[in-house]
Each structure stands twice: as structure tokens, then as C-alpha cells.
């Protein structure tokens, strides 16, 4: 099994952190500043019987200027060239409901008709486990996901099951 995995989501949701963790190398710049990643960066993870090439995309958002519009086109390119899409959002930001920006990206994913997995990241920032339940419910309604996971890219929570699900789709 081998293929491309596009990692998409709004700026700052933890895409680069997750890709670095999976690839085991600091290939992407991690920053709390949005748009640190301006163009897709690839990283390869080899495992038993598989090779997954991760494409860490620039933060997706509704284009408001030419730079962002160009970045958006690259995100769409990454989606259409990939075998699996990994959509990420920030659980700590979605507590009062999934934001418009996240829904915009989820819609792009749905329209790409590429098999997709949703990863609700930063669950370590939720005070109570139950806080995640309404977010999971809402995310499930956004697209036809193959799987939905609650993860923490920094703490390493649920990364293995997520990776297993990705490999099954390669």
C-alpha cells in the first residue's frame, strides 16, 4: 500500500505538528503564527507494508487576497492529487460549535470526493472528556467521513488508530 495523504484544515489546528510526529522529522515549520506554511511540504512515513506521503498544506481559508487565493489553489491541487484526505480542526476552538472556517474546509473536502478522515485535534485542551461529544456529532454531519478521531498531536493521543485508518485507505 502506498499513496498521498493531504492534511488540510484552518491555520493553527496542528497540521504541521501531526505530520512532524508521523514522519518523525521536523520537516515542517511549527508556529502559533498563521500561514507559516506557505506551500505544501511532503514527508514520508514507511511502515510494515505501506508508504504514506503526507502533504502538509498551507492553512485553508476563504481567499481574501491574491496570496491566499493562490494558497487555496494549491490546497485544491493537493486534494485532487491525494489518495486520502485528513481534515483537522481544533477541539478547543469548536467548543461553542464548529466554526465557519472549519465548515468551509470540510466542504472543500466533501467536494473533492476523496476518501476522508476527520481528526479533532487538541483534545488535551478540553477540561472534560464529554466536552468532545457535541463536536464529534457536529463534525460527523459535515461530510461523509470514513472515520472520525479525537486526537492530540502534541500528547500523542489516538495517533496509532488514526494512522491505521489512513493506511487502510491507501
103: Cα separation from own chain's centroid = 13
Per this entry, what is the length of the chain?
A: 170
| One residue of 17, 60, 61, 82 binding ligand GDP per CB under 6 A | 17
The answer to whether 16 contacts Mg ion (rule: CB under 5 A) is yes
Question: Among the candidate windows 6-14, 66-74, 79-87, 110-118, which touches ligand GDP by CB under 6 A?
Answer: 6-14
Reported for 74-78, long-range contacts at CB under 8 A and 24+ positions apart, including other chains, are 74/39, 74/40, 75/6, 75/8, 75/108, 76/108, 76/112, 78/6, 78/8, 78/40
Nearer to ligand GDP, 88 or 167 (CB): 88
The answer to whether 93 contacts ligand GDP (rule: CB under 6 A) is no
Could you list the residues known to form a binding site for GTP, using ranges: 9-16, 56-60, 121-124
Binding region for ligand GDP (CB under 6 A): 9, 11-17, 30-32, 37, 59, 121-122, 124-125, 152-154
Amino acid at each position: 500500500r502506498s499513496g498521498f495523504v493531504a492534511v488540510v484544515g484552518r491555520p493553527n489546528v496542528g497540521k504541521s505538528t501531526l505530520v512532524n510526529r508521523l514522519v518523525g522529522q521536523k520537516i515542517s515549520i511549527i508556529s502559533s503564527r498563521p500561514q507559516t506554511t506557505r506551500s505544501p511540504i511532503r514527508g514520508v512515513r514507511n511502515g510494515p507494508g505501506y508508504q504514506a506521503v503526507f502533504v502538509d498544506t498551507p492553512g485553508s481559508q476563504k481567499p481574501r487576497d491574491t496570496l491566499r487565493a493562490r494558497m487555496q489553489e494549491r490546497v485544491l491541487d493537493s486534494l485532487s492529487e491525494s489518495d486520502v484526505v485528513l481534515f483537522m480542526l481544533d477541539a478547543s476552538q469548536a467548543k461553542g460549535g464548529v466554526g465557519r472556517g472549519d465548515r468551509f474546509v470540510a466542504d472543500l473536502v466533501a467536494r473533492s470526493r476523496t476518501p476522508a478522515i476527520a481528526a479533532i485535534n487538541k483534545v488535551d485542551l478540553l477540561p472534560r472528556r464529554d466536552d468532545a461529544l457535541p463536536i464529534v456529532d457536529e463534525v460527523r454531519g459535515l461530510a461523509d467521513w470514513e472515520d472520525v478521531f479525537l486526537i492530540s498531536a502534541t500528547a500523542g493521543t489516538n495517533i496509532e488508530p488514526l494512522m491505521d485508518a489512513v493506511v487502510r485507505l491507501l
